[in-house]
Amino acid sequence: MRILSLLLIIASSLFFTGIVIRTKSIFSGRKGPGIFQPLKDVWRLFRKGAVYSETSSFIFQIAPSIYFASVLMAILFIPFGEFPGVISFNGDFVFFAYVLALGKFFSILSALDTGSSFGGMGASREALYSLLVEPAFFILMGSFALLTGHTSFHEIFNALHFGSYISYAIGTLAAFLLVIIAMIENSRMPVDDPKTHLELTMIHEVMILDNSGFDLGLILYATNLKFAMYGAIIANLFFTPGHELYYSIPIFMGIQVLFAGVVGGIESFMARFRMNHNPQFIFTLTSISLLIFLGVLLMLGKII
Amino acid sequence: MENYIRIKNNQSVPLQAIPVLTYEDFLEQNTGFMLNEANHCVNYYGVPQGDKLQLICCMANDVEHVIYVSSSLIEKQADLPSFTARHLAFHIFEREIHENFGVGYIDHPWLKPVRYPFDRTEKGSQIKNYPFYKIESEELHEVGVGPIHAGIIEPGHFRFICNGEQILHLEIQLGYQHRGIEKLFLDNKKNLQRASLAESIAGDSVAGHAVAFTNLWESLCGYNAGAALQFTRTLALELERIAVHTGDLSAICTDIAYQLGSSVFGRLRTPLINYFQIWCGNRLAKGLIRAGKNNFHFTNELREQLLQLFDAYEPDFIEMYNELKRLPSALSRLEKTGIISKELSEEIGTVGMSARASGINRDVRFSHPHDLYSRLDHEPAIKHHGDVYSRTQIRKEEILQSIGYIRELIQAIPHSDSQILKRGNEEREIGEVGRGLFAISLVEGWRGEICHCAITNEKGDLQHYKIKDPSLHNWMALALAVRNNEISDFPICNKSFNLSYCGHDL
């Protein structure tokens, strides 16, 4: 049953971006494309050959595969309720974060490899934002580890019980934090605008401007997977032990759909931040994660 | 003694009547005009006369509602002191004269080609070895954008020098759309050809340029347009203003990634341009405005449709605009972005909507009224901050103002001349073009002041035609507005000006 979470994440990755796009279409008064349209686009790209610039090196060619592999690898660590992920060991959430960072490192390298002035700009922005997001994630997971006394994803989530008021507050804050982290890591609004055609304002999009065909398909599908992966982490916060699969699987899917709807809603009703406001915004996440840390200390009676 | 003649907008005078000054007097006089805030240069260009070059300078006085025209005969390839050294607003005109005729300016700060990829008098100096502005530093980087536009609109090349995310300098290189329109005006002899040329000067200002051309042409022919023709032109100009401004608001929302605004304003624009389709069979109003005749009469039926359109448009527009102006995330993108101060704006001579957003009261509809504008008692909308938000607000105010004007105008539809003078299918003939005339026509398009000037020869044919789109001045404003802004705010600054590439390149 270890493979269950992998299968469910892949299943929800198939429709996740579709729901986001559909939500946005409905909010703007349009019908919008079908839910599986992003997937069809990826499939179309998979059947195409890639074009490589003469000035780019092998890094540019291997980076999309490494990026995709890193996301897939990270997914293997995600548990599903009481079932651990395919790989699980003590301290695996640190490995999880840095496997993702490895993928990002290669996509930054490949953006620099193209030699375009845009690529460098996007790479520097993306590097800065993921650097700023890191403390928030680690303080969150560290607080959970402190609370539960375990250090692997599976054990942390399995031991996480919500009961007291403080723990509900912590759960809500953690869910909020994970939604925003997912938005930033996937370069969505309000930090980045995936729809823009203007290179100067892009972050993630500008890094993959030179990718085409199969490589681009891999990168796009990795984004879908990444979204579903964060959705799965959020879903794990809401499982309580002892639930049967016919309960927890609908809860999982429901949370994924809700998450996608929230992303679509945020993207419909607000404007994107000015670039120099982004670091401030991302720093706020760290302070929220510190609140969680404080809550955990309160629960454990370490202070007062 | 006055060394210039005063003419009204759309007035034609014999070319001989324009005083010819020595270049020194010419320079003193016209740069002297600029000391008065009410004056600005609407056109300054060269006309070859035999082996000499006649420089003609048209300065508009917004208070007295007249245009001062004076000229000077100089040798081609002369080396002269420049106007620009006295006042920067002349820089683009002198660069153009230098490019077209090889006139050398000894103290012009920036004799860069305007449209050609090479210097026409000195072939060795080309844009590929042109010394673009550079700042040497380890920390700075250069970003080159274009000439292919990311949204594939029109081509233009932008070079940014940035310190991280901050823009220190922007140099804009245009000319990729140069089609030789002014020459085509001389080569194409038929009125219809010329009218459709005028409509193609800038695809988003079809009505603006078409009205400028027809008013000019009618003035050269000594034809007085009847009330119905003037009505059509005024209505078309105001409708075009509403349509393009609405589209711009949509585009501004797109650039800040505000989806709701982008789609609602986009939806509101469509019925407006579709209305042109209903009226004249073309969504851009091509074919609607012709010299001396009215091909598409404005009927009572059309009036009803227009009123219905506005009744549906106005509440939605106001609701959406209020939504936008209450949204903190949108305001934080628009406010204090891309500021052009009033002083700067005057110095570089911006015109139209972007000048009004910086607090300059410059509007042809008010200062040099043509067609029915004298009847409308127009009061220009003015904003003072000169930022992207001011340019957004100006658009909203002008839209509502224009709707008001149109509602007022269509209360009484003037009967067409041809309906009165109907004898068979005959219309009042426009007549022959006058000989040896100079005429000028100013029109406030949605973007700003459009100026067309023409000179006819002794045979009654066009000898010279000169077009000035407001973009010609305003590109400089964009280049200065983005300084010290973030490079990611460039698109929103650019959109707030929404300048024309082909209107500049001609």
pLDDT in tens, B342-361: 989 988 889 889 899 998 88
Amino acid (one-letter) located at B487: I
Mean pLDDT of chain A, nearest integer: 88
- Tens of pLDDT, residues A255-266: 999 999 999 998
Q: Show the tokens assigned to A257.
A: 């759909």
Determine the 3-state secondary structure of B248 from DSSP.
Answer: helix
Site from B149, B250, B259, B334 to mutate, A interface, most A CB atoms within 10 angstroms: B259
Residue of chain B whose Cα is closest to the Cα of A273: B329
Nearest C-alpha in B relative to A277:
B332
Q: For residues B431-437, give the mean pLDDT.
A: 80
**Could you count the other beta carbons within 10 Å of the beta carbon of residue A108?**
21
Look-up of token digits 């082909």: B502
- B172-175 long-range contacts (CB < 8 A, ≥24 apart) are B172/B475, B172/B478, B172/B479, B173/B127, B173/B132, B173/B147, B174/B114, B174/B115, B174/B475, B174/B501, B174/B504, B174/B505, B175/B113, B175/B114, B175/B115, B175/B116, B175/B117, B175/B505
Q: What is the mean pLDDT of residues A179-195?
A: 85
Mean pLDDT confidence for B448-470: 89
| Packing angle of the helix pair A92-113, A58-75 (nearest 10 deg) | 160
Check: CB of residue B281 under 8 Å from CB of residue B274.
no
Q: Looking at the predicted structure, is the pLDDT value of residue B208 above 50? A: yes
* Contact: B263, A120; criterion CB under 8 Å: no
Q: Is the pLDDT of residue B216 over 60?
A: yes
Partners of A114 on chain B (C-beta within 8 Å) are none
Determine contact, residues A60/A210, Cβ cutoff 8 Å: yes
Partner-chain contact A267 B259, CB within 8 Å? yes
Asked whether the ipTM of the predicted complex exceeds the cut of 0.90, the reply is no
Residue B87 CB neighbours (<10 A): 21
pTM of the predicted model as reported, rounded to 2 decimal places: 0.89
Site of tokens 């014999």: B14
For B485, residues 6+ apart whose C-beta sits below 8 A from its C-beta are B166, B167, B337, B338, B493
- Give residue for tokens 């706020």: A284
- Please count the structural domains in chain A: 1
pLDDT band of B428, cuts 50, 70, 90: low
The yes-or-no verdict on residue B247 having pLDDT over 90 is: yes
The H-assigned helical ranges of chain A are 4-27, 37-46, 58-75, 92-113, 117-148, 153-159, 165-185, 204-207, 213-237, 245-269, 278-300
Sorting pLDDT into bands at 50, 70 and 90, what band is B151? low
For position B100, what pLDDT does the model report? Answer: 85
Q: Is B148 exposed, middle or buried (0-12, 13-18, 19+ CB in 10 A)?
A: exposed
Q: Which pLDDT belongs to residue B417?
A: 55
**Per-residue pLDDT averaged across A177-199, rounded?**
84
In this predicted structure, the answer to whether residue A53 has a pLDDT above a threshold of 90 is: no
Spacing of C-alpha A33 from chain mean position: 23
Shortest distance, CA A255 to any CA of chain B (angstroms)? 24
Q: What is the pLDDT of residue B1?
A: 52
Q: How confident is the model at residue B424 (pLDDT cuts 50, 70, 90)?
A: very low
More confident residue, B267 or B150: B267
> If you write DSSP's letter for every residue of B409-439 in order, what string do you get?
HTTSPPPPHHHHS-BTTB-----PPPSSEEE
**What pLDDT sits at residue A99?**
93
pLDDT for A240 equals: 66
Q: Regarding predicted confidence, which is higher, B269 or B299?
A: B269
Whole-number pLDDT of residue A243:
66
Per-residue pLDDT, B136: 82
What pLDDT band is residue B150 in, cutting at 50, 70 and 90? low
Cα-flanking dihedrals φ and ψ of residue B168, to 5°?
-95, -35
Using CA coordinates, name the residue in chain B closest to A124: B164
- The pLDDT assigned to A269 comes to 87
Q: What percent of chain B shows pLDDT beyond 70?
A: 96
Q: Are strands B166-173 and B157-163 parallel, antiparallel or unpaired?
A: antiparallel
Q: Domains of chain B, with CATH numbers?
A: 5-114 (3.30.460.80), 129-173 (no CATH), 181-505 (1.10.645.10)
What is the band of B312 on the pLDDT scale with cuts at 50, 70, 90? very high
If you average pLDDT over residues A62-89, what whole number do you get?
Answer: 90
Which domain does A152 fall in, by range?
4-300
Of A276-285, B67-76, B115-124, B179-188, the least confident: B115-124
Please, what is the average pLDDT of chain B?
86
Judging contacts by C-beta atoms under 8 Å, the chain A residues touching residue B143 are 117-118, 121, 200
CB B27 within 8 A of CB B91: no
- Residue B233 CB partners (closer than 8 Å, separation 6+): B207, B211, B214, B215, B225, B289, B371, B372
Chain B hits for A120, Cβ within 8 Å: 141
Angle (CA) A15 A16 A22, round 5°: 85
Residue range A113-120: average pLDDT? 84
Are the CB atoms for B177 and B157 separated by under 8 Å? no
Q: Chain B: which residues have CB within 8 Å of chain A? A: 141-145, 150-151, 165, 253-260, 262-264, 267, 327, 329-330, 332-333, 337, 486-491
pLDDT score at B152? 65
Range in A13-27, B3-17, B383-397, B474-488 with the lowest mean pLDDT: B3-17
In the predicted structure, residue A68 carries a pLDDT above the cut 70: yes
pLDDT at B265: 92
pLDDT at position A242 over 70: no
The span from the CA of B233 to the CA of B221, in Å, is 18
Cβ contacts of B323 on chain A, cutoff 8 Å: none
What are the chain A neighbours of B249 within 8 Å (beta carbons)? none
3-state SS, B143-188, equals EEECCCCCCCCCCCEEEEEEECCEEEEEEEECCCCCCCHHHHHHHC
Percent of chain A with pLDDT over 70: 98
Helix (H) or strand (E) holding B91: helix B91-101
Torsion (CA) B418, B421, B426, B430 in degrees, nearest 10? -70
Q: What pLDDT is stored for residue B425 in this prediction?
A: 42
CB B190 within 8 A of CB B175: no
Chain A and chain B share a number of CB contacts under 8 A equal to: 85
Higher pLDDT, B322 or A241: B322
Give chain A's contact residues with B (Cβ, < 8 Å). Answer: 24, 27-30, 117-118, 120-121, 189-190, 193, 195-201, 267-277
Average of per-residue pLDDT across A57-83: 91
Give me the mean pLDDT over the A140-145 stretch. 91
Task: Tell whether the model's pLDDT for residue B423 goes beyond 50.
Answer: no
Question: Tokens at residue A158, please?
Answer: 């399995």
Provide the 10 A C-beta neighbour count for residue A116. 21
